[in-house]
Structure formats: structure tokens, C-alpha cells
Amino acid sequence: MNDIVPTSTLARHGVAAVGGIAGGIGLWALRLLSHVPIIGLVAGGVVTLVGLGALSSHEPEDKRAGVVTTAAGALTVLSNIGLFGGIAGGLMGVAVVGLLAMGGWNAFKFMKGLKTRA
């Protein structure tokens, strides 16, 4: 009934939990910074450049993180532009909730898997 969860699965859930929660908090901070005109624009540009740098990697996990980081930076830049501010801010809010929910779900699965080892 309660089979022991393999270490690789347990590690994957733990890393996904930390990444989701940290990503959600980071994106939330970017969303707050996007309300300050110059600082939000600079922060969004820096995050976009970091994401583009990660996209140049050969590892698929790095490319996936690069896409997410580039999108977060681009949304931060767009939220500083009056025409796209509302749409970009709304998308950032949805992304924050999604990342936090995904991180919480993976933390739950991690804890449940950890419990089977005790």
C-alpha cells in the first residue's frame, strides 16, 4: 500500500517545490517593482537578459528556465508601458498564483513521499 517513493522522484518533487515557491516569490517581487517606472524597467530588462542567457544553454532544464525567466522579464518591461500595463500585470498575477500553487503541490507530494520512508 505505502510503497517507498524512489529517491529520484522525491528529489524531483523537492526541487520543483523549492523552485515553484521561490519563482512565485521572485515574480511577485518583480510585479511590485513594475509599479516603480524606472526601477521596474531596468529590473525587467536585467531579468530578460538573464533569461536569454539561460536560453543559450544546451541543457533542456536550463532552456525551460530561460523561457520562464525571459517571459517574466518581458512582462515586467511591458507592465511599465502604459498600453500593456493592465494586461501584463494581470498575467503576472496569474503566473504568481500558478507558481506558488505548483510549488505547494510539489511540497505536499514531497512531504507525502518523505513520510513513506519513515
> What local confidence, expressed as pLDDT, does residue 85 receive?
74
Q: What is the pLDDT of residues 61-75, one digit of tens each?
A: 888 888 989 998 988
In 3D space, the residue among 56, 89, 57, 55 whose CA is nearest the CA of residue 72 turns out to be 89
Mean pLDDT of the chain: 88
> What local confidence, expressed as pLDDT, does residue 118 receive?
74
How much of the chain, in percent, has pLDDT values that exceed 90? 33
When pLDDT is averaged across residues 90-107 and rounded to a whole number, the result is 92
**How far apart are alpha carbons 75 and 69 in whole angstroms?**
10
Instruction: Report pTM.
Output: 0.80
When pLDDT is averaged across residues 44-56 and rounded to a whole number, the result is 91
Q: Does residue 115 surpass a pLDDT of 70?
A: yes
DSSP string covering 29-68, please? HHHHHTTSHHHHHHHHHHHHHHHHHHHTSSSHHHHHHHHH
Q: What is the pLDDT of residues 70-89, one digit of tens each?
A: 998 988 888 888 777 788 88
C-alpha cell of residue 48: 530578460
When pLDDT is averaged across residues 84-109 and rounded to a whole number, the result is 89
